[in-house]
Structure 1
């Protein structure tokens, strides 16, 4: 029996459509929740009578929880069954969402956000692991393309949908809106999701868990508060420094352990390492852009929040439509044929963004954002697929945990660094021209876009070294 027949038989064991629906609907809710509340932070600050620094923890805490918990999922996926992990993630989602929706005080709302993020921290790595188990190698690109759609659509549509909800209903409905989708995901997952992983008798080393929490959590916390406290603040420097020291100790310990919590041997594979670098840059740019671009539109062009969301909507929708097609192109023509053109489109979009001023027309933003989102869509899922394809199957849980951790940390760092740069440039401009806030914001945004362009060009160069690991193994 040849390999294609074996893969065909294996694929028939799973109802892939229903499984993907259960996993990806939950993933969309989690990623939607990551950015949806940002548009309501000003109102919530007044409702709960807390200052801007405190209310920002509704966003910062989400990233912090992901940064702490995602690294642990590698060993959890080996210790517990697929169904146990999935049901736990959905129940955490539901519990956190209900708590947040009925929160009578800010502390309860923040707790709900932490619990929501814990659900997403399990869901994202689990979804990737299931995809790489139930789909044969020649169909993973298309499957990951659909996941890429969710990873882009969730954060991108969050502010738009939340703005529509807030214009017609109360802030509670930003959370209540997601409950039917979570219940759908729970029912479909309970019915259709099988146990696809092999459970092992592994123990979680407490010292490793502590080092991981302090390391990843310290870095994410430090960069998250840097925008308010300043990068030279003792609390920021101490948090990041402690985080790096803990990470060094964590990595040293993992390399010495027979059964590590996170197997770092994945970094011994050059294509995996290359993919991690490209993912870091992609998420750094993408998530910071989703914050900086709306700030520029609202503060420099004086466009209303909901209108801002509508202007950015065509790019997100086009990406949703094309994502499965992009995945199939990856399967058919290989990684470089998709990834390199995608990185070039991202660089082109950033070069146009860097020319924006206080008189930029809305249609120019729409077209540029379409190019940007198309480029990111071509890069995002394709890089992740190729990165994990470069690993032996036994390293999938660890590779997925590593890539997801890098993505969340790079997103948190990207937002903190780019917003800080924008603010610094804006404030410097206001010291000279005190009454021209739109132009000051434009100056700050332009600098951010130029930095994004530099990073995008680096990704173009890195993409030229991309190879198809499946073909490379075939040559051996």
Structure 2
């Protein structure tokens, strides 16, 4: 283990590069939704599947990551993940139709589904508990900054090129990551001859997939009350109940649900999920609002989101160091307070809102997010014993992606339903965006109340 401690920077850097590109891809296309819809002659609720489908695949396959990390070496999984990411990105860059583009996103998501929980587990393994705050701050930089900066770079690219080039520019970085990873990554855990429980995988897939799919089609149907939504969500929830019962009865479950016996992990999970839903819903809503209501070109809309992304990157690192000194009790409520203020004022945006107002509120939201996600997640994972690290990271990352997909789908559905009720397309869209942001505001308030129950996990406890 001491050898891993000495080489931890070399081991972690290729993971950070790969994860950054994977999460960048979650939101980079948001800025291109209008152009993609125009190119393929489809509605925003259909284009939204490029983000929702990506997150749906993450929600389905991340639960398997705990099994994969037991069955294969760190190097093998890293190489497989980067191979999926490179292949999917190449297909997307060449995609001639919407169907091919959607397939490419699915292949990309397979790579991200492996790399994110693997990176978190590696950091838990190679950093001692008293230094994990700063280390997880690097993950926080990736998890929050990458999706935040995606629309900005996409907007700049779209000013001169087509949306295909959003994918072309990421391929060199993925190639660098795979070559550096093959050179420096070492195995951080022992391989065990475990077998995948097929029944658990099927139940997990139907469960998470059904819930996300049900909320997602509500955007296409323009209502949450359709029969198709009830069937998909209902089937998903029943499958999740059966999945849970099976995991609790199995001697070696696919996901060890004993992690929920640890109260700080469970509290952290809820707060992180609320933050993820707030973040990704706003990342979808603001580009649509700026381009279709304020009539901004993609480059200007993207540049308006740049200050928030840059400041968020800096604050994620700062938040990691502050966590090691002060813990989560002050940081998480403060972050949620900032998010509440930002979302409250964003509910007032209209056809005359100034660019400065959007920039300030966006910055405030992302500062808040940087104070929420990493401290809450690190404190929750720190409470787990070493043998539950892989299960804890798999569950945390699975539900983050599911929450992000649901948050995105619900936000777009609320926007679509509200907009359809107003005969004026501009005012209808404004009302829709406002109502969608209220949804995020309610989540922020609930998380704020819960955050006062967080206690710092001791850094000297035996693991």
TM range (shorter): over 0.9
Q: Distance between the aligned counterparts of 1:83 and 1:112, measured in 2?
A: 24
Give deviations 1:38-75, integer Å, cap 9, x for gaps.
33344334545666565443333212211110111111
**Aligned pair count?**
462
Q: Which residue of 1 aligns with 2:246?
A: 253
Q: 1:314 to 1:306 in 2, by over 3 A?
A: same
Tell me which of 377, 391, 394 is aligned to 1:384.
Answer: 377
Q: Among 71, 85, 95, which residue is 2:87 paired with?
A: 95
Distance verdict in 2 for CA 1:326–1:118, change over 3 Å: same
Q: What is the aligned counterpart of 1:450 among 425, 438, 441? A: 438
User: 359, 380, 385: which is aligned to 2:352?
Assistant: 359
1:199 aligned partner: 191
Structure 1 residues 166 and 427, CA gap change in structure 2 (3 angstroms): same
CA distance in 2, matches of 1:420, 1:206: 34
1:4 is matched with none
In the alignment, structure 1 residue 238 sits paired with structure 2 residue 226: no
Query: Is 1:309–2:302 an aligned residue pair?
Result: yes
Contact 2:339 2:365 in 1 (8 A): yes
Distance of 1:390 and 1:182 partners within structure 2: 33
Q: Which residue of structure 2 aligns with residue 209 of structure 1? A: 201
TM-score of the superposed pair, with normalisation by structure 2: 0.95
| TM-score, structure 1 as length reference | 0.92
Q: CA deviation at 1:318?
A: 0.6
CA-CA distance at 1:473 after TM superposition: 4.3
| Contact 1:11/1:135, CA 8 A, preserved across alignment | no
Q: Which moved more, 1:208-217 or 1:41-50?
A: 41-50
User: Pick from 28, 46, 64: which aligns with 1:36?
Assistant: 28
> In the aligned structure 2, how far is the partner of 1:449 from the partner of 1:58?
21
Using the TM superposition, give the Cα deviation of residue 34 of structure 1 relative to its aligned residue in structure 2, in angstroms.
Answer: 1.4
Aligned to 1:469, the other structure's residue is in SS state coil
Aligned equivalent of 1:16: 8
Is the contact between residue 31 and residue 287 of structure 2 (CA under 8 Å) also seen in structure 1?
Answer: no
Change (3 A) 1:43 1:301: closer
Aligned to 1:5: none
Deviations 1:175-204 (A, max 9, x none): 111111011111111111110012212111
Counterparts of 1:41 and 1:457, CA distance in 2:
30
Deviation at 1:455, TM superposition (A): 1.9
Q: Which runs of 4+ in 1 moved over 6 A?
A: none
Specify the alignment match of 1:331 in structure 2: 324
Distance 1:451 1:422 in 2: 11
Q: Who is 1:462 aligned against?
A: 450
**Partners in 1 of 2:11 and 2:108 — Cα distance?**
21
1-structure distance, mates of 2:46, 2:351: 31
Instruction: Report the Cα offset of residue 141 of structure 1.
Output: 0.8
The 1:471/1:154 distance shift into structure 2, 3 A limit, reads closer
Could you tell me which runs of 5 or more consecutive residues in structure 1 were left unpaired when the two chains were aligned: 1-8
RMSD: 2.0
Q: 8 Å contact 2:155–2:300 — kept in the other structure? A: no
Equivalents in 1 of 2:3, 2:360: separation in Å? 40
Q: CA deviation at 1:446?
A: 2.5
| Structure 2: runs of 5+ lacking an equivalent | none
Structure (1 or 2) with the larger CA radius of gyration? 1
Alignment match, 2:118: 126
Task: Assess, with a 3 A threshold, how the Cα gap between structure 1 residues 427 and 463 changes in structure 2: closer, same or farther.
Answer: same
